[in-house]
A and B are shown apart, each in its own frame.
Chain A
């Protein structure tokens, strides 16, 4: 019984695997390689957290077709990037360009790290100073000794 069930499930999974068709490829491999390289740098605007090369969204299909056409027209990678950015904005790029509005994005984490290290350093210095600067006075020394001596016989 269990064997039959396994076989049926296996057969079903084979069917579902076959149902996934590969995306249509351009005739030449070089174009396809460039397409993958370029579209991995681009964000799919429908799914937002997926790259254009990995997305199954319909717009992603259309855009890949568009990029394929541009490659076949002999456009450079930079020109294709410009084509996308001029329509969808810097948001389509996974690596946003360095400019006024993205300064915080690029350097924010570094600033936080430097700030955190600075705060830690100041805190540690202050603490070590606080420990050094208060040696015991003679009276305190005697009191400490007395306390230690009292406790000893109990051991």
Chain B
């Protein structure tokens, strides 16, 4: 055998490993919450601020919890997909608005008191949904991001699929593409809705 063949094979293997490694998404960190009950919370609704929503209200339904914000650029890319999903009534979507005011780097949230922050978040969130379309059955406000820490959110948008028993069955990090929806989410949704 040619003595140059082995180094060549070694090199080819290294190139193959690098090619695979570099094409993996480093943001796709497996969530330890998959298979566990969705963390409980009670947050006020964007459409009706005097009412609260809790994941327990959704027991018996398969639903998606989508983390979004008006300052999040990727959410803007994702939004049309969500609107189409909602239009076809294929899925119940609940929006979890992440740090609407504090998360926006362009705003100085420290200068606002709690009431002013809340008012601003409501205005901004509702105006945005009016302008871009509202795919959510309802959205809730996580002003300080405390609930999102319980869900292990580290980037917006993120989406959780929760089953009838309130167990998280899937987590999607980053914007949902149409392919993600038809290939990954829809089949699981159909299976769990049986």
Contact = CB atoms under 8 A, between A and B. Distances in A.
Interface residues of A, number: 15
A56 to B, nearest CB: 12
B30 interface: yes
Contact of A63 (B32, B103, B149): B149
Given A62-B145, A86-B32, 16 more contacts: A45-B154, A58-B99, A58-B102, A59-B145, A62-B149, A66-B149, A85-B32, A87-B32, A87-B150, A87-B151, A88-B29, A89-B29, A89-B30, A90-B32, A91-B29, A91-B30
A7 interface: no
Contact of A87 (B33, B144, B155): B33
A66 B30 CA distance: 22
A46 interface: yes
A48 interface: yes
Main secondary structure on B side of the interface with A: loop
Interface string B7-47: 00000000000000000001001111100000000000000
A90 B32 CA distance: 8
A79 to B, nearest CB: 16
B49 interface: no
Given A45-B154, A46-B154, A89 B145 contact: no
Nearest to B26: A48
Q: B144, B149, B151: which has the most chain A beta carbons within 10 Å?
A: B149
A63 B146 CA distance: 9
Interface of A: 45-46, 48, 58-59, 62-63, 66, 85-91
Q: Sort A-B residue pairs by CB-CB distance and give the 7 closest, nearest first.
A: A45-B154, A87-B152, A89-B32, A91-B29, A88-B152, A62-B145, A59-B154
Contacts of B102: 58
Contacts, number: 39
Contacts of B29: 45, 88-89, 91
Q: A59, A66, A87, A90: which has the most chain B beta carbons within 10 Å?
A: A87
Contacts of A86: 32-33
A91 B31 CA distance: 9
Contacts of A48: 26
B26 A89 contact: no
18 contacts: A45-B155, A46-B154, A58-B99, A58-B103, A59-B145, A59-B154, A62-B144, A62-B145, A85-B32, A87-B33, A87-B149, A87-B150, A87-B151, A88-B154, A89-B31, A89-B32, A90-B32, A91-B30
A119 to B, nearest CB: 10
Contacts of B33: 86-87
Nearest to B34: A89
A91 B26 CA distance: 11
Contacts of A58: 99, 102-103
